[in-house]
Structure 1
């Protein structure tokens, strides 16, 4: 039986990505951080790992795969978006928003897109 072990993000600066994603997700490195690879794990127990690997490819404007980060409600979503932006994320001028989106598209310091979802609307 297969299970997802890690979600891998390509980044241009592993140490900068570690600084952002450890604060964003409250994760910690599983092992020593190198200039080309690290796996991050939840600080408080089991969960999805996020691996950061050095990549020379630019981030995609409309990526086929991305992270969805869940917020409890609209207020939590707004607070998390503000927190993530203060850590170095940026708002993305997303041209594919529906009329009443339950998500906000952000990009990490490397330009990798991810969404912050208001799960109270599901």
Structure 2
């Protein structure tokens, strides 16, 4: 990916597709970086909050900043972000305790310490 060199100053020896992700494409770069690529025209949201949560002591992976100090870059019409690669596995129902503990820690963070997005109840299932 030429864009990784242009936007992040990273050289790539190996680029491997990653099957995980939700409505995005993913790539593992040299076993060190995870590149998340959003669909054309979509912009990533919440990347700044990841750094804020990490600053509050939560074990959150935040994106690498671009050479222009942005949390993501554009490759044509697609936004992409680079994160440190953390090898793991897909969660299953047996992980509910760990998920609940993580959510509790997030909810214990003071709203004054994290930039929260505006509330949006425009989705029909949220309104009901």
Q: TM-score, normalised to structure 1's length? A: 0.32
Computing the radius of gyration from Cα coordinates, the structure with the larger value is: 2
Structure with greater proportional helix content: 2
Which has the higher relative contact order, 1 or 2, with Cα contacts under 8 A spaced 6 or more apart?
A: 1
Q: Using structure 2 for the length normalisation, give the TM-score.
A: 0.31
